[in-house]
Amino acid sequence: MEFPSKLIENAVGELAKLPGIGRKTALRLTLHLLKAETEATSSLAEALAKMRFEITYCQTCHNISDTEECSICANKLRDHSLVCVVSDIRDVIAIENTGQYQGVYHVLGGVISPIEGIGPSDLHIDSLLKRIPDSEIKEIILAISPTMEGDTTAFFLSRKLREFPEVHISTIARGIPMGGELEYADEITLGRSIVERTRQAKA
């Protein structure tokens, strides 16, 4: 693809690195930004820079946040006795969009995947276990995508959480298809899976 300007070529190259963006789409976006008002392009650049360098993560649940404590953990109206464990921040967004859940979260930051070299120590599992003693947590929902890696992670967590017999462990109902990802589930199915979660039997 020939470009009349090296600056255009560089912009297209950077945009094309984004997931789902090919070079043709990147070119359309670049030309749109070129034609847009200078203030609009500057605002976009500033918003992206602030997002990248100023955003932080909640010290309690590891959700994205503008402060040390995210808005969900800081909300006194949420049910802090109920913790939904998810693998990714996108899962928090997906579950919140259902409007069916009023508890709090814990974001693992991934799933156990030996093939990719990701073990339990690479995830936020220890911080989850440290949240339980002397807290009001009564139930933990394992809302992890039902993939092979997700099931491995859920199994590992279930064994670790047996150390806390006073805490009920449940999993989302299997309205989510096997091998599916939470973020792609429709809101009705995902919301119903949270509401109709199943308690795990204690060993």
Q: Is beta strand 56-57 parallel, antiparallel or unpaired with respect to 64-65?
A: antiparallel
At position 37, the amino acid (one-letter code) is: E
**pLDDT surpasses 60 at 175:** no
Residue spans in the chain of domains classed CATH 1.10.8.420: 6-51
| Higher-pLDDT residue of 192, 68 | 68
pLDDT tens by residue, 106-155: 999 999 999 999 999 999 999 999 999 988 999 999 999 888 899 899 99
Residues of the chain with CATH 3.40.1360.10: 77-199
Mean pLDDT over the full length of the chain = 88
- Given strand 168-171, what is the order of strands in its sheet? 103-107, 79-86, 139-142, 168-171, 198-199
What is the C-alpha separation between 177 and 105, in angstroms, rounded? 22
The pLDDT value recorded for residue 117 is: 94
Q: Which sign, positive or negative, has the C-alpha torsion 75, 79, 85, 86?
A: negative
**pLDDT for residue 201:** 59
Q: Distance between CA 170 and CA 139 in Å, rounded?
A: 7
Residue 141 token pair:
């929902």
- In CATH terms, 6-51 corresponds, of 1.10.10.10, 3.40.50.1100, 1.10.8.420, 3.60.130.10, to 1.10.8.420
Percentage of residues in the chain having pLDDT higher than 90: 76
Full-model pTM: 0.76
| Top CATH class, 77-199 | alpha beta
